[in-house]
Structure 1
Amino acid sequence: MDFDYPKKEKLKSKIRITQLFAEGKTLTVFPIRLIYLKIDNQEAFIKAGVAVPKKRFKSAVSRNHLKRLLRESYRLNKALVFNNTEDKFAFLFLYLGKETLPFEVVQHKMTLLLKKFNAHISERP
């Protein structure tokens, strides 16, 4: 099982992020929202990014901590998506909560969100 999160899987393109917000579909398991979009021409199977709003978390330290939690929980659970679909996607995980949650809770919510994504994708033709 491959638990790494290499540079080629990171969502960095400003154009792609703008396209995600404009055309992407959303799924939410509080406090995480997933914005995803099916993409054709990209080198990685899934490109993923994380975001924590500055409006709710003024301190850069707390924003960075939450982003680290989101990235780590995605890295540990990304096999749920990789093993269940053949399509290529761009993901953006947004943190919606007002306070910092422990890693175990964030990881559990990420697992639920990725399972919900799989169910949502498998019911489509």
Structure 2
Amino acid sequence: MMWSLIFFLLCVSECRGQISVTQSPSTTAAQPGETVKINCRTSRDVTPCVSWYLQKPGETPKLLIYYISTLQSGTPSRFSGSGSVTDFTLTISGVQTEDAGHYYCQSSGTKTSVSQSHSD
């Protein structure tokens, strides 16, 4: 527990500043069971302060992954995060229809996030 708190504080202090975030592709379509990869590139090294969110219509964004690859409680295991320095990837292995929505890559400590849609 103490390690998590210290790590978070270090992350916040390390991740301040202006960072631009871009995602690709901007939109993707997939059939149930396929693997979907969403890429995120930052303008400078933000390791380990990258989070992924999913927003469904009429709902607030839901945290899926933080610290690049740590699954938030309740996030299905088909979601995974990877990457380092400036290039990061969200992978959905065996995508399901309920995974449709807008995905956000965010570098903690900034207000920058870019949305990407994915639908089946």
Q: When the two structures are superposed, what TM-score results if normalisation uses the length of structure 2? A: 0.34
Higher helix share: 1
Higher strand share: 2
